Structure formats: C-alpha cells, structure tokens
Amino acid sequence: MILIIGVTGTGKGLLAFDLAQSIGAEIISIDSMKVYRRMDIGTAKPPKKARQRIKYHLIDVVEPSESFSVAAFLKAAYEAIEQITCRNKSVIAVGGTALYIKALLYGLFEGPAADEQIRAELQTQAKAEGLEQLYRRLKEIDPQAAARIHQNDAKRIIRALEVYELTGKPISSFQQQWDIRERRDERRETKYKCTIIGLRREKTEENKRINARVKKMIEQGLVDEVKSLLAEEKPPSLQARSAIGYAEIIDHLNRKTTLEDATEIIKKNTRRLAKNQRTWFKTFKNVNWLDVEPKEPPEKILNRTKTLLVARGS
C-alpha cells in the first residue's frame, strides 16, 4: 500500500489521482467527512470525472443523517483493500484525518465501549447549550485532548466527555497508552506493507491555498449545498453538521453571521485544522516527506514521487 498524507489543501488528492492513473491503482479515501453523500463541495471530494476514471473507495458511503465511527472506517477500509488486491491492483490510500490514518496503521486504541445514554445526553446538551459549552468543559477536564480536537468536531468532543463520564479518566490517558503501543508496533511491521509519502508546503503558501479553496467553494455553491442538506427529510447529524464549512454556513443561514463573516471563519477554522494536522503528522514515523514548491507543476510532483517509490522498492 502507498499512503499519501499531508495537511488539508497540500495537493495530496491530485497526486493520488495522477499516481493511480500512472500505475493502475485504486484509491482509498481516509477522510471522516468525504464518507457523507451529497456533502461534496465543502469536503472537496474528487470531481466526478476523476471518479469515473479511477475507482475510489470510502467516498459517499453513508447518509448525512448517520454517524460514522473510526471502527466503521476500519472495517470498510479492510474490505476495500481485500477487494483491490484480489483484482491484482495496487492500493493508494490518501487523506488528512490523522486519527483514521493511525488506526489503519496501528489499530484502534483501547478505551471504554460507547454508552448510548450518556452520548445522547451530551448530544442534547450540545443542541441546547451549543457545542462551545461542551468544548469549554473538555478544556477544563482534559486540556491535552482539547488541544488535539477542533472546537467544531462534535463527534470527538462528545466521545472525550463520554469517556470521562464513564471512567473518571481523561481520554488522553487512554491515547497515551495507544501511543506507547504504537511506538512498540513501529519496531514491527504494520498490518500492511506500506510506503508513506508526505506532501509538505511552507505554512504561508499553505494558508494562501486554503483561503483560495474556501473562496472557490463559496463560488461553486456551498451555501446552496448546505440549504439542500438542511431541507432533507432527515437532516444532517450533529457529526455532519459540525464539519468545517458546513457549521459556519449553517450559522449564516440561521442569521448568526453574514456570508462574508462565515467565509472568513471557514478560512480561519481550516487554517487551525491544518495547524492541528501538522502537529499530528510530526508524530508519524517513517514518512518520506516531499517539500513542494509554490508553483511546482503536478507532473513534477508525480515524477518525484515515482522516483522515491522506485528507490524504496515499492
């Protein structure tokens, strides 16, 4: 398996497509929001033309009204890898959801099972009081976890609070056990033989790309996409509504912000996400980082990647 990682907006999706075309591979998306159907613009899914030419997995697999867990992702990813290899195709996994990537490489960390009653109570509180209140509580009881979790990530905020309610221990303490196990596992082979390619850009360039992409999403009709989702018989789940781009536009449609302000908040929150991803990826081992120049053409990035893969025997 070839795994392509990088913060949001680095161009890893385009590289995955170009590489898949070049070597006859299929692509597995490692993204917690691209799994939702009809959430296309705000999640920056590959264009339909690209998906007609290359087979993608883990895109458009659940309804926006449904929740999606790391465990569900792993099950689907394992099945996709088996299907691809049975067709004698190469596997390219690509994404920026660090928790999903680590789970794919090292498995799930061991924590308490879900408690539906506690979870439902927390979801009710989030709707009544606002997610920011739950996030403020998380910062008080587990600042380490709060530093890793985005303030709009309802699913992970609620899970962290749920773990604390169940055990009296912060979720970060369980994740530290996972990190210890992961470091031990790094001395062994991961579940799949894997070459990891990381795309990296200068922070200022990355911020420019993020700002430009958000502007393009608005121009492509993100507001209408959100309106359409909210008008469905089963509205988006709290998890789907909390996705960056969607949460801010929902606030705009509820007349909490102007569209101009919502757009700027999306840019700011996406830049914050990129910062968190950079922190996550610093903990990843055995990554072959490619530093990309601001105007480096895609074909050059592809050629550099293929040269690296040959050198690594992949």
What's 28's DSSP letter? E
The closest alpha carbon to 275, from 174, 207, 195, belongs to: 207
Residue 12, pLDDT above cutoff 80 = yes
pTM above 0.85, yes or no: no
Question: How many angstroms separate the CA atoms of 131 and 12, rounded?
Answer: 31
Give residue limits of the domains in the chain.
2-107+191-311, 116-175
3-state secondary structure of 179: helix
* 63 close to 36: Cβ distance less than 8 angstroms: yes
Domain at 116-175: CATH code: 1.10.20.140
- Which H or E run includes 172? helix 171-185
Tell me, what's the pLDDT at 78? 94
Residue 24, pLDDT above cutoff 70 = yes
Amino acid making up residue 28:
I
- Bridge partners of 36, per DSSP, are 62
Pairing mode, if any, of strands 56-57 and 25-30? parallel
Strands (DSSP E) found in the chain: 2-5, 25-30, 56-57, 90-95, 195-200, 287-291
CATH 3.40.50.300 fits 2-107+191-311, yes or no: yes
Q: What is the pLDDT of residues 188-226, one digit of tens each?
A: 456 678 999 999 999 999 999 999 999 999 999 999 999
Q: What is the pLDDT of residues 101-135, one digit of tens each?
A: 988 987 776 566 677 788 888 988 888 888 999 99
